[in-house]
Structure 1
């Protein structure tokens, strides 16, 4: 069994408030085809920022397991926009990374799923406090199971009482179908089994399986995960992909359309996100940038993109592919309330609670240098963040799994601070 620390990245933003640290260094050597938009104005500050951020990228690439980086930092108040890629998109061919290369965004996908759910709330399909018993039915489950079997704790069944709000905020108490085993949050769940198959038999079996929401729900129930809930609904924050699996099923059930169709009609097409797709469920719109998993025990920096791993298992929680430009389009539209009818909906999305102080309804909260920011990190080394006070957007990837992406962001902001921003 390959032990993977899946939960660590997902929980960093939800459980920690980061402080900005200073310092950066190193050199830069960037090919012309890796350049993006650097600045709207040629000013001393813009020049210092560009030099400092270039150094951040070069220093990051000095880490043995990092093959490429992309960074888009948009600061309209300073008329400054930095968009640059460094490294290799495909080390097998030597092709350089560019801003146009799509990459797997992992759990940033949860923000898209949450956005669709909140649109459905606005449209009257459901409320945040609607229980699953009014949204799903037993026909979605394998024979012999009921909705109440989704959450069993101490012999008490409570699956049907779980609310939409609890799913969005990771407070339903459900074990993570991708990360957990039935009695431990040990990283040896479905994803670890799939990686184990990639290493041992070229990805046959679970690793190459084409999943969908119903199949994943069947795995969750039959594996014993549902029978060992972590906490009573509403009592405790526990980051879990199972919560967003159920939200994906809710979206399909109430709209009568696939999750992919909802993403595309409600968000992608609406915003002109031409380089974004639901991997495994839509035709790809470009070649993927290669990304890696550093398996230290095996002495292997595994090129995930070059394997037969089928990422459809991430379905509603992490199966989107996008680019930094497309993600910035989405982030700004979301934070400028262009995707909702009501002004208060975004406020709800950023509403935390005593049980969940750093995770709203699909958005992670983090504090850098005293500034509150909102967005989400992703397991494949991705980050999307927005600073409401300064209308600043940051989207980045280091294309290396299981990174502390909030630490990476702190390094970026240290670079901007050292330049005088």
Structure 2
């Protein structure tokens, strides 16, 4: 169903919550790591064993204060490994198996970019075509021309709308049952001036990819969800991946997300954030998937089986511009991120994503020979500490892709 305005479905809905000790460390089977690994004949057994041990250690001890569950998959010349730990639901204490669905957040952008680049290959979209040409009246008349390529690589300069309160603020979850109509979502920030002249800076945000969602619908005459399903999900065979639309639930077996909040007594209260209307992110962040599907998608994408090779080059090309409000060079391409964990070390390409209660990501070498996929049910998914080098996710990434 197309959405062209904001509709509050349940303005008085209250988040479900559960109180736990700040550092949960269950001795039951649900807190142990369930893992499988196979070292390949060409790799030294000691190196493969060390990597498997590092991955297992990185996700051990869940549920804990920082996260309630984790699912990880690693694939390389040296080892194939998958592991899961924690609980899918703190009320039932059911152990994670490793094939549960979760909210992928901004990983959705990689899928959206793949659809848009297919349309570029088919000449239904032009990289140098403008939003004003395709969708007249969408942008304010005083905004400069914004090109499709600038939406893809975050150099459009378009201001994004404030669709929710800041994390941990008193009203942080008040919009969880609000449905945003797509055009209203895109135009929510257009009362503000352009952030910069298009093509001169890079600012990572959701706005460009939600505009791409509208462009996809305009040039195909079908919904974004239909195009995503037919062009990517079904083409690659992703059986557990889908866009939920305005459905606040996650279908099938899935992990629950929790956000840790301080209560009046100084303790920690975990709010169950699993049910949430994802229309506030739409084409930039509403996808639901599994680690197995993400691993399959990454392999197919990097091998050129999703986006034709000519357009795929854009996904491995970072624009030569500084980042917004910084002199640092840009790191985002069209749908991916350039990742270099150590100076002079190997370069990986991937994408991360977060929704309340969920932090996920994938990364791989450009030839696809080595890849890592993770989903962690972080209790502070919007906090900087959750992705710091010494965090659980930092340790997972270094265990899988570090030297």
TM-score by length of 2: 0.79
**Of the candidates 343, 365, 387, which is equivalent to residue 387 of structure 1?**
365
Cα distance in 2, alignment partners of residues 208 and 274 from structure 1: 27
Q: In structure 2, do the counterparts of structure 1 residues 413 and 211 end up closer, same or farther at CA, with 3 Å as the change threshold? A: closer
**Of the candidates 196, 220, 235, which is equivalent to residue 231 of structure 1?**
196
Cα distance in 1, alignment partners of residues 301 and 186 from structure 2: 29
Cα distance in 2, alignment partners of residues 310 and 413 from structure 1: 29
1:254-333 equivalence runs, <5 A:
254-280=219-245, 285-296=251-262, 299-305=268-274, 307=275, 309-333=276-300
Instruction: Please say if residues 179 and 246 of structure 2, whose CA atoms lie closer than 8 Å, have aligned partners that are also in contact.
Output: no
Cα distance in 2, alignment partners of residues 67 and 234 from structure 1: 41
Q: In structure 2, do the counterparts of structure 1 residues 362 and 246 end up closer, same or farther at CA, with 3 Å as the change threshold? A: same
User: How many residues are aligned here?
Assistant: 354
Asked if 1:348 is matched to 2:333, the reply is: no
Q: In structure 2, do the counterparts of structure 1 residues 211 and 34 end up closer, same or farther at CA, with 3 Å as the change threshold? A: farther
Instruction: Please say if residues 176 and 239 of structure 1, whose CA atoms lie closer than 8 Å, have aligned partners that are also in contact.
Output: no
**Of the candidates 200, 209, 213, which is equivalent to residue 244 of structure 1?**
209
Structure 2 partner of 1:367: 340
**Of the candidates 183, 187, 199, which is equivalent to residue 214 of structure 1?**
183
Q: In structure 2, do the counterparts of structure 1 residues 386 and 83 end up closer, same or farther at CA, with 3 Å as the change threshold? A: same
Cα distance in 1, alignment partners of residues 170 and 244 from structure 2: 21
> Any unmatched runs of 5+ in structure 2?
1-24, 323-329
Instruction: Please say if residues 155 and 203 of structure 2, whose CA atoms lie closer than 8 Å, have aligned partners that are also in contact.
Output: yes
> Any unmatched runs of 5+ in structure 1?
1-25, 142-146, 150-156, 181-188
Q: CA offsets per residue over residues 60-116 of structure 1, 9 Å max, x none?
A: x375131011111111x22x2111110011111111112110000000000000111
TM-score by length of 1: 0.76
Asked if 1:402 is matched to 2:375, the reply is: no
Structure 2 partner of 1:148: 140
Cα distance in 2, alignment partners of residues 73 and 29 from structure 1: 26
Q: CA offsets per residue over residues 260-312 of structure 1, 9 Å max, x none?
A: 1011000111111010110225795413311123345874433211x5x3122
Q: In structure 2, do the counterparts of structure 1 residues 135 and 416 end up closer, same or farther at CA, with 3 Å as the change threshold? A: closer
Instruction: Please say if residues 293 and 402 of structure 1, whose CA atoms lie closer than 8 Å, have aligned partners that are also in contact.
Output: no
**Secondary structure of 1:216's aligned partner:** helix
Q: In structure 2, do the counterparts of structure 1 residues 166 and 330 end up closer, same or farther at CA, with 3 Å as the change threshold? A: same
- State which drifts further: 347-356 or 43-52: 43-52
Which structure would you say has the larger RCO, counting Cα contacts within 8 Å and 6 or more residues apart?
A: 1
Q: CA offsets per residue over residues 166-218 of structure 1, 9 Å max, x none?
A: 111111112232xx4xxxxxxxx52549985575xxx5xx4312223123134
Structure 2 partner of 1:109: 108
Instruction: Please say if residues 174 and 238 of structure 1, whose CA atoms lie closer than 8 Å, have aligned partners that are also in contact.
Output: no
Q: Which has the higher helix share?
A: 1
Q: In structure 2, do the counterparts of structure 1 residues 417 and 353 end up closer, same or farther at CA, with 3 Å as the change threshold? A: closer
Following TM superposition, by how much is the alpha carbon of 1:47 offset from its aligned partner in structure 2, in angstroms? 3.0
Cα distance in 1, alignment partners of residues 393 and 240 from structure 2: 24
Calculate the aligned-residue CA RMSD, in Å: 3.0
